[in-house]
Amino acid sequence: MTLDLTRIRAQFPALALADDGRPRVYLDNPAGTQVPQPVIDRMVDCLVRTNANMGGHFRTTIDATELVHQAHLAMADLYHANSEREIVFGPNMTSLTFQMTRSLGTRFQPGDEMIVTAMEHDGNNTPWRLMAAERGMVVKTLPFDPHTYEFDLAQLDALITERTRFAALNMASNLLGTINPIAEMCARLRAAGAITYVDAVQYAPHGAIDVQALGCDFLVSSAYKWYGPHQGVLWGREDLLQTLPVWKLEAAGNDSPNRWETGTQSHEGQAGCIGAVEYLQWVGQEFGGEFRGAAPAGCSARTADLHSAMRAMAAYEESLSERLITGLRAIDGVEIRGITNLERLSHRVPTVSFTRPGLDNTAVARHLADHNVYVWSGHNYALPVVDALGIRDTGVVRVGPTHYNTLEEIDTLLALVADVVAAH
Ligand SMILES: Cc1ncc(COP(=O)(O)O)c(C=O)c1O
């Protein structure tokens, strides 16, 4: 069974918008996805019916407290966490990560080593490098192969020493699209006694997450990348979340997640996360039939639905990747910066970045925007990646379809890119 794009797209009001008769073609999804109706309904309902602080005795506060609890449960199911106490909400991935540097930094001594990969978005790069500088730590960078756009795990082995204490790992690159072997990487780092912090921001919209199988210590994603609202969501091992020193108010609770969730949180954002999980669960129930049984053993029914959903979406997205990669490669001089081997599409998300000598990436993005086709150009905050490729100043054109995009939309993009290339 494959996705029914008509029914999928009907869930997203933004996909029906047109400007001067021209439909909007959203290929900017790695920067943020559109939201389905359940997200909007949940957020509106939160603001109408449960708009109060938590922990009181009247109806709105009781409902707000329950809503926040349900949001943590929903995220625990999405990540396949052991408990909702392992889920920490925050404004976005970057803020949560900076917060974690304050707490984790206290564990490290001068001369301790950390590994950061060359595939990081700056959000999982600069915060840790600042922490390292503050603590006198040594930073080692795990390079990727500029031909295969993948890591060689022997190089990771070579970087690990008895002083390795921490690693920041990218699960899927926001520029290259590569999906990295996080479980294998974490196993090696765990054996050395290192703490692992996984950036799943670009993986979460396209693949099922199972923090228990990954064997990491922390994992973070942003709901606005996986069809939800602007909201960061961190998972951490409960013993660490419960015992790490934390910068919190005296008045705030001492148990996780309260000790991490500073001030008053965005209840409407958390409500929207429930809506996004409900949408994904619907995808799993409607279209995930052939992927039943792929879920983690003993998981909840909701986690099983979510795993079916993500697998069904990924299977469809491979057809988008194939059309995009094949089409771009047929355009004179275009170079794709990422995996192009069609046998290895399951090792990438459908984010495809390209360059062409002599072509101004910003001009391409503008030309596409003139035709209501949305993409991003530049470094896309993937500073270690563009530095490794020697293209920090110019960057790439990044095309990021997701499961609600059609093959026709890819063809529209390809025709426009071909036009702009032909005009040069
Ligand atoms: C891989 C990756 N990590 C981190 C971030 C930062 O996320 P946020 O905007 O939630 O801070 C992004 C945003 O694009 C990203 O793509």
Q: Does ligand 1 come within 6 angstroms of the Cβ of 135?
A: no
Strands (E), 124-217: 138-142, 164-170, 195-199
Longest dimension (CA), the chain: 68
Q: By alpha-carbon position, which residue is closest to atom 5 of ligand 1?
A: 123
Output the pLDDT for position 424.
84
Q: Taking the chain (424 residues) in consecutive chunks of 10 residues, what is each chunk's mean pLDDT?
A: 92 98 97 98 98 97 98 98 98 98 98 98 98 98 97 98 98 98 98 98 98 98 98 98 97 95 97 98 96 92 98 98 98 97 98 96 97 98 97 97 98 97 91
Output the pLDDT for position 2.
86
Q: Does ligand 1 come within 6 angstroms of the Cβ of 32?
A: no
Residue 20 Cα to ligand 1 midpoint, Å, equals 32
Q: How far apart are CA 171 and CA 169, in angstroms?
A: 6
Q: Does ligand 1 come within 6 angstroms of the Cβ of 229?
A: no
Output the pLDDT for position 1.
55
Q: How far apart are CA 38 and CA 35, in angstroms?
A: 8
Site to probe by mutation for ligand 1, drawn from 28, 93, 101, 120 as the one with most ligand atoms within 8 Å of Cβ, is 93
Q: By alpha-carbon position, which residue is closest to atom 8 of ligand 1?
A: 93
41-278: CATH topology is: Aspartate Aminotransferase; domain 2 (3.40.640)
Q: How far apart are CA 350 and CA 27, in angstroms?
A: 10
5-35+303-422: CATH topology is: Aspartate Aminotransferase, domain 1 (3.90.1150)
Atom of ligand 1 nearest to the CA of 172: 1
Among 105, 83, 75, residue whose Cα is nearest residue 168: 105
Output the pLDDT for position 356.
96
As annotated, the residues of the chain forming the CATH 3.90.1150.10 domain(s) are 5-35+303-422
If one counts every other C-beta atom within 10 angstroms of the C-beta of residue 403, the result is: 25
As annotated, the residues of the chain forming the CATH 3.40.640.10 domain(s) are 41-278
Residue 127 Cα to ligand 1 midpoint, Å, equals 12
Output the pLDDT for position 293.
85
Atom of ligand 1 nearest to the CA of 32: 14
